[in-house]
Structure 1
Amino acid sequence: MKSPIKELLVSAVLYLPLCFFVWFYSAALLVVPAKWIAEQALMMWQNDLFNGINQQYYLFTVETLIFPKDQMGAVGSQLAVLDVVVNPMKYGYGLAVFSGLVISLPNTSVKFKFIQILIGYVLISFIQANGVFWETCKSLLMNAGPDAFNAINQTGISHNLVAGMYQLSYLILPAVLPIMVWVLLNRKFVEDITHFTTNEAGNDS
């Protein structure tokens, strides 16, 4: 009997590089939903501190309404504001992994694969937006000077919450959540793999 595990692994090795290639070179388009979600979240949270998000290729520039007292960035009579540059791609690599695993599924219809990739894309967009939100808060609290620190501190948000959510959004969610969703969407396949492995182990003994 042909091993479904080997079939999945061989196919994944072939498809994953292609998925990462497409993911990277389509980044400017793929991050658009994440930009909109993060922008809405920041504006709904503190619309007197944030002025929106500008996108340049795949990089986001979060525009704030925080005016540093020293005005070192001012030109002439123009007031300088603090901006935060965030790379949402570091929160979105799970899309390439998820897509590679979905495409590699044996005995699965193209329609079901497409639906799964769409679900994964929506999930990753929210993961990226979550990462952008918390990285912005972390950067303003810890890296943007006393004026930014005071502005965020006055919102009453917990510093420990910001640090913890940033670590979670950077280290855990992008790597773990897409795999968990893939397992849930393909529970029957995972059960078949488990059953096959158990039978193989029983035959060897």
Structure 2
Amino acid sequence: MKSPIKELLVSSVLYLPLCFFIWFTAATLLVLPVHYLAEWILTSWQPDLFNGINQNRYLLNVETLIFPQQQFSGQAGKLAVLDVTVNPMIYGYGLAVFSGLTISVPVLSHAKKITQIFMAYGVVCLVQTNGVFWETCKSLLFSGGDAFEAINATGISHNLVAAMYQMNYLILTPVVPIVLWIILNHKFIETLIGWRQTENISAQNDD
């Protein structure tokens, strides 16, 4: 009897490279919701500090209203603001992992697979937006000078920024998509557990 667990693993390994390729190729479009959501959150939270976000392919340039006090030669009369560049893709690779696992579930119809992937996309966008927010705050805190003073004036806790940045980067990004996949496919996982228990009983009877 073929092992459904091995079939799932083999299928996932085969589909994952394709899913990562599509995910990275479509990165510019995939981060659009993150762009506008993060922009709305930052400008609503501190309208006197954040001016907006510009997107360069999949990179987000958070434009602040922090003007440098130091004037450089050849820049007289020109205004420059501090930009923080954030790569939201480092918080979104879970979508490719989720897609590879979902496509490999044999009991799901094509419609259900597409539905689950879109649901995961929405959740991953929230994780990415969260990552953009806390990385922006972290970058300003570690920039020193006027940037530090500006973000420090908001009253945000330095420890909170550090903790949320680490949690989002190390925990939420890889764990949330997997947990979502388990929740959405718990019935399939239960059949795998039941098959494994049946196999163990059969092996004991043979002995």
TM-score (structure 1 length as normaliser): 0.96
Consecutive unaligned residues in structure 2, runs of 5 or more: none
Q: Which amino acid aligns with 1:19?
A: C
Match of 2:144 in 1: 145
Residues 71/115 of structure 1: CA separation in 2 closer, same or farther (3 Å cut)? farther
2:190 alignment partner AA: E
Q: Which residue of 2 aligns with 1:158?
A: 157
User: Which structure has the larger Rg over C-alpha atoms?
Assistant: 2
Cα distance in 1 for residues equivalent to 2:91 and 2:200: 38
Q: For residues 73 and 164 of structure 1, do their structure 2 counterparts lie closer, same or farther at Cα, with a shift above 3 Å needed?
A: farther
* Corresponding position of 2:27: 27
Q: Which runs of 5+ in 1 are unaligned?
A: none
Q: What pairs up with 1:1-205 in 2 under 5 angstroms? A: 1-72=1-72, 75-142=75-142, 144-205=143-204
Amino acid at match of 1:26: A
**Which amino acid counterpart does residue 65 of structure 1 have in structure 2?**
L
Number of residue-to-residue matches in the alignment: 204
- Give yes or no for contact 1:54–1:63 (8 Å, CA) kept in 2: yes
Percent identity of equivalent pairs:
61
Residues 15 and 100, structure 1, Cα contact 8 Å, conserved in 2 = yes
Give the letter for the 1:123 counterpart: V
Residues of 1 paired with 2:2 and 2:152: CA distance?
A: 59
**In the aligned structure 1, how far is the partner of 2:26 from the partner of 2:114?**
17
- What's the RMSD between the two structures over aligned residues? 1.3
Mapped to 2, the partners of 1:57 and 1:25 lie a distance apart of 11
1:202 partner SS? helix
Assess if the C-alpha contact under 8 Å between 2:55 and 2:61 holds in 1: yes
* SS across alignment from 1:138: helix
Residue identity opposite 2:112 in structure 1: F
